[in-house]
Structure 1
Amino acid sequence: MANVRVSRTEDGFVATNDRGASVQIGDSAGEGVFTPVELLLAAVGGCNIVTVEPLTAQRGHRLVRLEMTVSAEKIKPNKLGDVTITYDVELPSAEADEVFRAVAHRVHDKYCTVSTSLQEGTKVVLELP
């Protein structure tokens, strides 16, 4: 089970995982913080990229550069439209391009827990004390 604790601090909010890593959360006016929507986009990107990189390398193709931009527009005050992942890669060969594309599609369609959960509409349950 994955757990993250979100707590109010003097400066806003912080999310901390069980391993002690943390990230500052705030609104769009806050400097040095992620908004909750940005964290969601980072989760989509992170899930995809940390899976694509080793799978591509295991197939013998270490990408020269691997980056991505993940974006979405709010279509309602409380709803995002489509989330778009745009890779920015430098490939060492045409064969690496073919492998990278196949891996990126497979990861997006099957192996990224975050993308799959969003696409399938994972239920969020509220528990109050």
Structure 2
Amino acid sequence: MATNARGGRIEIGGGDQDGVFTPVELLLAAVGGCNIVTVEPLTAKRGHRLLRLAMTVESEKIEPNKLGPVTMTYDVEIPSEEADQVYRAVAQRVEEKHCTVSRSLREGTEVRLELP
């Protein structure tokens, strides 16, 4: 079980239990969630509300303990051509510069282990 300071809880398991996320599923959800929750408000701030915004995030293991490239695919309904241009520019900029999770994966973040 993972909890945060605001009282949020997520059950984590090894993939053999119903209703729980595996650590890899959480990683993929984090990269997608980070991008999508940033794209929507920035697009709206530029005067364009998206009619539908969802995302699929996928990766395959290339080694038993390592993921290959992560692919994010937006599922979006856009009200106009102008909104489409704004959305595309925002989504690209968010993935490259604003999403902490994407940047950390792409650039590599050191993981440290501290044992008591």
Q: Give the drift of 1:29.
A: 1.3
Which one has a larger percent helix, Structure 1 or Structure 2?
2
The number of residue pairs the alignment matches comes to 116
Counterpart AA for 1:34: F
The reply on whether 1:40 has 2:40 as its aligned counterpart is no
Alignment map for 1:1-129 (pairs within 5 Å): 14-129=1-116
Which protein has greater RCO, CA pairs closer than 8 Å, 6+ apart? 2
Distance 1:25 1:33 in 2: 5
Q: Secondary structure at the match of 1:70?
A: strand
Counterpart AA for 1:38: E
Distance 1:127 1:19 in 2: 25
Q: Give the drift of 1:112.
A: 0.2
Distance 1:108 1:100 in 2: 12
Q: Secondary structure at the match of 2:84?
A: helix
Structure 1 unmatched ranges of 5 or more: 1-13
Distance 1:45 1:87 in 2: 9
Q: Give the drift of 1:95.
A: 0.4
Q: Secondary structure at the match of 2:11?
A: strand
What's the TM-score once normalised by structure 2's chain length?
0.99
Structure 1 runs of 4+ with >6 Å offset? none
Percent of pairs identical after alignment? 73
Distance 1:53 1:30 in 2: 33
Aligned-residue RMSD, C-alpha: 0.4
Q: Give the drift of 1:89.
A: 0.2
Distance 2:79 2:17 in 1: 40
Q: Give the drift of 1:28.
A: 1.5
The match for 1:7 is none
Counterpart AA for 1:95: E
